[in-house]
Amino acid sequence: MVPTSSTPNVKTIAERLTDVRIRIENAAANAGRDASEIGLIAVSKKQPTAALEAALTAGQCDFGENYLQEALPKTEALTATTQTVSPIWHFIGDIQSNKTADIAAHFDWVHTLDRAKIARRLSEQRPSNALPLEVCIQVNIDQEASKSGVSPDQCAELATIVANLPGLRLRGLMTLPEPRNDFAAQRVPFAELARLRNELNGAGHILDVLSMGMSADLEAAVAEGATHLRIGSAVFGSRPE
Ligand SMILES: *Cc1c(COP(=O)(O)O)cnc(C)c1O
């Protein structure tokens, strides 16, 4: 038999998106939150353009990409094929200084800012006809040696620098914690990021975004106030290598 796109047991991207949206609604209800205040970013790294088009057709506008070289052809393809909805592009990978011009030109958001030098370059290189780039500071909440992100005690200093750059609009904090298995343990780093955000707001910042929660821990992130979930495998299936 020739396999078709309707092969039983293989969910379509539209079905997976529906499942994820239901998970978010349930998590929001459990936390006494309104699901409409929680954004879903479909993390499309290593996925082909057709997968992103299927998601866009199913009403998914926000996409997260980690690798600039891989992302640029997708941003071009989707922008060209879009009729009614425009995709919104979130950069969620490590940023090298030689990539800042393209990131500033082709993305709407950057979630992984962790150095003043990169912040200044992105601000200078943001095209003058575009709105400021929306940015989150990445916090290395578990203080892992191998992870990107500022340590929690360096966050205030970088926030002040970013808030004063004209090409950037500081929106909030992002984190990518070590994987933890149970719900209570998953909540700990997310609660810590929320606490840090509140501390910065107490010091005069106006941060409304907490970018936290992935396929395996979105419920814990919603419980701790996530406003932007970054979900890959639950939307697209496991990633091709
Ligand atoms: C890959 C990735 C995700 C999504 O991970 P899943 O477990 O597939 O949901 C989220 N955030 C960042 C920064 C990532 O690199």
**Ligand 1 centroid, distance to 43 Cα (angstroms):** 6
CATH of the domain at 69: 3.20.20.10
Is 113 part of a structural domain of the chain?
Answer: yes
Is 179 part of a structural domain of the chain?
Answer: yes
Ligand 1: which residue has its CA nearest to atom 11?
Answer: 230
Is 3 part of a structural domain of the chain?
Answer: no
Rg (CA), the chain: 18
Q: Kindly report whether the global pTM for this prediction surpasses the value 0.85.
A: yes
Is 204 part of a structural domain of the chain?
Answer: yes
Q: Is the pLDDT of residue 8 over 80?
A: no
**Alpha-carbon torsion, ordered 234, 40, 161, 207, to 10 deg:** -130
Tokens 């998914």 identify what position? 60
pLDDT in tens, 168-225: 999 999 999 999 999 999 999 999 999 999 999 999 999 999 999 999 999 999 999 9
Q: Tell me which residues have their CB closer than 6 angstroms to ligand 1.
A: 43, 45, 66, 92, 176, 214-216, 230-234
**Ligand 1 centroid, distance to 204 Cα (angstroms):** 31
Q: Distance (Å, rounded) from C-alpha 159 to C-alpha 171?
A: 10
Q: Select from 23, 92, 238 the residue to mutate for testing ligand 1; criterion: most ligand atoms less than 8 Å from CB.
A: 92
Q: Distance (Å, rounded) from C-alpha 86 to C-alpha 227?
A: 21
Is 5 part of a structural domain of the chain?
Answer: no
Is 35 part of a structural domain of the chain?
Answer: yes
Q: Distance (Å, rounded) from C-alpha 192 to C-alpha 136?
A: 16
Is 232 part of a structural domain of the chain?
Answer: yes
**Range of 146's domain?**
10-236
pLDDT in tens, 30-51: 999 999 999 999 999 999 999 9
**Ligand 1 centroid, distance to 37 Cα (angstroms):** 20
**Residues forming a β-bridge with 170:** 135
Is 84 part of a structural domain of the chain?
Answer: yes
- Tally of structural domains, the chain: 1
- Atom number of ligand 1 nearest to Cα 215: 9
**Ligand 1 centroid, distance to 241 Cα (angstroms):** 14
Residue pair 82/63 in contact by the 8 Å Cβ criterion: no
Query: Among candidates 94, 130, 134, 98, which has minimal Cα distance to 115?
Result: 94
